[in-house]
Amino acid sequence: MERTFAIIKPDAVSKKLAGQILARIEAAGFTVVAMRLQHLTKAEAEGFYAVHQARPFFGALTDFMSSGPCVLLCLEAPDAIKQWRALMGATDPAKAEPGTLRKDFGASIDNNATHGSDAPETAAFELGYFFRGLELR
């Protein structure tokens, strides 16, 4: 078993797609270990995406991620990191495979509905950034 960190981003929450995305997550076999609705501050979004701070899209990304509530998740499954990335599809919805969440629910590379950790080290950092140990037992 493996755990990964996932976000249903503000665009998807504001379009009332969170329930559909959660249903797809459960249908794909993931167990929801922890879940919280949270409206991030700009500073919280900047800390979360610190790895991208030199990228030209950092300001727009952190503005968007702090623009409304999102759903923060710890998901568990065999090979969860890879499997969640497969269910999301490519970062840019225009390049995502049919049947993936970003293809079905994302509008653009900025408003792409979901986030997922890309490696075990990132998952450990991202889960620890938002969840307390007690929530992840």
User: Which residue, 55 or 133, is less far from ligand CMP as judged by CB?
Assistant: 55
Distance CA 76, CA 23 (A): 15
Strand partners, 116: 6
Asked if 94 contacts 104 with a C-beta cutoff of 8 angstroms, the reply is no
Nearest distance, CB of residue 134 and ligand CMP, angstroms: 26
Is residue 8 a contact residue for ligand CMP (CB under 6 A)? no
Q: Which of 62, 80, 115, 127 is catalytic?
A: 115
Binds ligand CMP (CB under 6 A): choice among 3, 24, 103, 115: 115
Please name which of 114, 123, 115, 97 lies closest in space to residue 18, comparing C-alpha atoms: 114
Asked if 120 contacts 81 with a C-beta cutoff of 8 angstroms, the reply is yes
Distance CA 21, CA 10 (A): 13
Question: Does residue 39 have an active-site annotation?
Answer: no
Strand partners, 70: 38
Nearest distance, CB of residue 61 and ligand CMP, angstroms: 5
User: Which residue, 57 or 129, is less far from ligand CMP as judged by CB?
Assistant: 57
Is residue 129 a contact residue for ligand CMP (CB under 6 A)? no
Nearest distance, CB of residue 48 and ligand CMP, angstroms: 9
- Give the footprint of ligand CMP on this chain (CB under 6 A): 52, 57, 61, 91, 109-110, 112, 115
